[in-house]
Amino acid sequence: MSINGGSGCFGRGLAVALFLLYGATGFGAPPAQPAHGDAAAQASGMDHDHDAMDMDHDHEAMEMGEADHEHAHGAHAHGVPAAPVVWSLVLASLAIAGGLIWSARAALRRNAPAGPTAGTNILDLPVIGMALRSRRFLAFLIVPTMAVFLLIVLAGLRGEQDTGNPAILLTWILWWPAVIFTFFLVGRVWCSFCPFGYLGDVAQKIFSLRLRVPGILKNMWWRLGLFLALTWLTTLWALDRWPLGTAWLGLGLTLGAIALAVVFEKRTFCRYVCPVGGVFGLYSMTAPLRLAVKDPSVCRGACSGKDCFEKCAWFQFPPAMERGAECSLCLDCVRACPKDNIALRTQASGADLASFQSHSKSLDEASAVAAVLGVALLQTAVMLTGWRGWEAKLGNWLHLAPGPTLYTIVYIGVGAILPLLLLGLFSYTSQAQEEAGSGLGRALRTYAYCFLPLGLALHAAHNFHHLFGEGAAIWPGLKKALAQYTGWTSLAPPQVAAASVAPNLLFALQCATLMAGLYLTYRVAVARVRRNGPRPERAFRAVLPILLFAGAYTVMNVFMLAAPMAHRH
């Protein structure tokens, strides 16, 4: 079947899918009715009645899984955008997807632009450069982070088990959404002052066997497996609404970092095991800045000590770095280099994604990209108030009651297997246009990176819902908790609802994020197709499957984010 013929079928399929989604998400219905709680507050997007919502959190049942699974899907929903706004943005997203396809055709007819020019070296900027070069800068970041981490653990272990607990507010409404943006904006810089890694460093200074890292750890599979397990448990146990579970999650990751630090050299946990930094580290390939040596010939000739490698806790050798995904931007190598030969340069967003070519034959990173797309989709879907109905229908079909078993089947299918099959199909179709195209594995290793911005965009847009929809509750919640812990009742906030961002504005912001992801996918796909060199008349046919998938995934997500969604708080 030709690609052109396929695109006609695809268009009709997309139209049917959109129609079904329209019905499923209830856009044609009256404005969303809250799943639980106060209807008036819901309509204004301001329902923060913790007692009504969360005090029924039954932890004994949670440990058994069933009741908690119910609870995970039972939190209240907030306002939804108005139908005209939704339809305007759906049409806009369709227009942008079509426009990008048209633009790709034009771009691939032109000669490839000249290679990227070296960006600005941030370390040369006055004041900022000086601050970044100073080791004290990291300490400046680590001290407050450690204080917040301690507060999360103590509040989670000892505080009231409701969603007003600082462990929930700070971990799941502030940190989790915010950390995703840091990977996109400044790469893996969070990892340089993450409390888990820092406590591992402290333990390693006290005692460590400093064994070499075994080869079996040096791949993405461990990180991917832990990431899937973590996200699976987060939904199944409602970790994002369970302060005690959140505290133990933080303690567990810290213990893991410490255990590996006392056995192995350097930051083995951060580099090869951490489920958060590992998979999200791929997000940092979209970052607009990266470490790079100024003059490679200096490294080859005039430098005998290679101090940059000695000092790097992440096993990186800056002259050989091909991307920033495994670099925490701690800048220890910059401080160690005797030739001042390392720069922190700006670059185009997604430059690493466009240029990186894996030397490994493993499908670990392609599988991680697929999992990001699947898990972001599923974790958004389970927070929709319509999820219970879909789950019940699927359960009827499979003869399974809604609960952990059914969710696990859905999780493995939708979160891991289906996206990998789809990415394989669309990557293979793209690669088929190359002269030397061969093998599904090579296709996935070449083109899977194109799809990463889509997963990142949905992940970020979903978390906009929590950060901007619930973020206003953080400060009053912290003051309330402080009043309880200290007995200073004057700190307790008055009983007024915290304002949230208006649903229309929030939705527009989410759609803009999805469009940005689509645009980045377009740029990465065009660059990769160009580099793999199908003949000009075939280049457009190579990029088309990727852009069709990207457009469909994005429009589907626009629909999904317009539906009523539960809050964590």
Helix spans in 327-472 (H)? 332-336, 351-355, 364-381, 387-398, 404-410, 418-431, 440-470
Shortest distance, position 194 Cβ to ligand SF4, whole Å: 12
Shortest distance, position 293 Cβ to ligand SF4, whole Å: 5
Beta-carbon count within 10 A of 406 CB: 17
Q: Which of 203, 218, 215 is closest to 273 using CA atoms?
A: 218
Shortest distance, position 343 Cβ to ligand SF4, whole Å: 10
Complete DSSP assignment for 81-100: --HHHHHHHHHHHHHHHHHH
Report the site for ligand SF4 in 44-63 (rule: CB under 6 A).
none
Instruction: Please identify which residue in 327, 524, 542, 561 interacts with ligand SF4, judged by CB under 6 A.
Output: 327
Please provide the size of the chain in residues.
569
Residue 331 touching ligand SF4 (CB under 6 A): yes
Shortest distance, position 136 Cβ to ligand SF4, whole Å: 16
Instruction: Please identify which residue in 93, 286, 316, 355 interacts with ligand SF4, judged by CB under 6 A.
Output: 316
Q: Which of 502, 540, 441 is closest to 81 using CA atoms?
A: 502
Shortest distance, position 338 Cβ to ligand SF4, whole Å: 6
For ligand SF4, the closer CB: 123 or 562: 123
Find the part of the chain contacting ligand SF4 (CB under 6 A) among 125-133, 338-346, 349-357, 558-566.
338-346
Shortest distance, position 335 Cβ to ligand SF4, whole Å: 9
Shortest distance, position 201 Cβ to ligand SF4, whole Å: 13
Residue 319 touching ligand SF4 (CB under 6 A): yes
Please tell me what DSSP assigns to residue 213.
P
For ligand SF4, the closer CB: 223 or 538: 223
Please tell me what DSSP assigns to residue 212.
P
Distance in angstroms (rounded) separating the CA atoms of residues 10 and 545: 10
Beta-carbon count within 10 A of 208 CB: 16
Give the three-state DSSP class for 49.
Answer: coil
Shortest distance, position 348 Cβ to ligand SF4, whole Å: 20
C-alpha dist (Å) from residue 246 to 62, 149, 162, 315, 486: 13, 11, 12, 30, 22
For ligand SF4, the closer CB: 105 or 306: 306
Shortest distance, position 333 Cβ to ligand SF4, whole Å: 3
Is the separation of the CB atoms in 313 and 266 below 8 Å? yes
Give the three-state DSSP class for 101.
Answer: helix
Residue 183 touching ligand SF4 (CB under 6 A): no
Token pair 């630090």: residue: 261
Shortest distance, position 331 Cβ to ligand SF4, whole Å: 5
Helix (H) or strand (E) holding 188: none
Distance in angstroms (rounded) separating the CA atoms of residues 358 and 444: 11
Is the separation of the CB atoms in 231 and 240 below 8 Å? no
Shortest distance, position 148 Cβ to ligand SF4, whole Å: 23
Copy the structure tokens of residue 301: 């000739």
For ligand SF4, the closer CB: 47 or 332: 332
Find the part of the chain contacting ligand SF4 (CB under 6 A) among 38-46, 69-77, 146-154, 334-342.
334-342
Distance in angstroms (rounded) separating the CA atoms of residues 169 and 227: 22
Instruction: Please identify which residue in 133, 339, 388, 479 interacts with ligand SF4, judged by CB under 6 A.
Output: 339
Shortest distance, position 273 Cβ to ligand SF4, whole Å: 16
Distance in angstroms (rounded) separating the CA atoms of residues 167 and 54: 14
For ligand SF4, the closer CB: 305 or 389: 305
Radius of gyration of the chain (CA): 24
Token pair 């402290």: residue: 202
Distance in angstroms (rounded) separating the CA atoms of residues 427 and 446: 8
Report the site for ligand SF4 in 244-303 (rule: CB under 6 A).
291, 293, 298-299, 303
For ligand SF4, the closer CB: 47 or 326: 326
| Site size with ligand SF4, rule: CB under 6 A | 25
Residue 312 touching ligand SF4 (CB under 6 A): yes
Residue 318 touching ligand SF4 (CB under 6 A): yes
Residue 63 half-sphere exposure toward CB, CA atoms < 13 A: 3
Site string for ligand SF4, 342-361 (x = CB under 6 A): x-------------------
For ligand SF4, the closer CB: 303 or 400: 303
Please tell me what DSSP assigns to residue 412.
I
- Residue 382: alpha-carbon gap to chain centroid: 17
Instruction: Please identify which residue in 47, 162, 240, 332 interacts with ligand SF4, judged by CB under 6 A.
Output: 332
For ligand SF4, the closer CB: 277 or 517: 277
Find the part of the chain contacting ligand SF4 (CB under 6 A) among 82-90, 158-166, 322-330, 399-407.
322-330
The binding site for ligand SF4 (CB under 6 A) comprises: 291, 293, 298-299, 303, 306-308, 311-312, 314, 316, 318-319, 327-333, 337, 339, 341-342
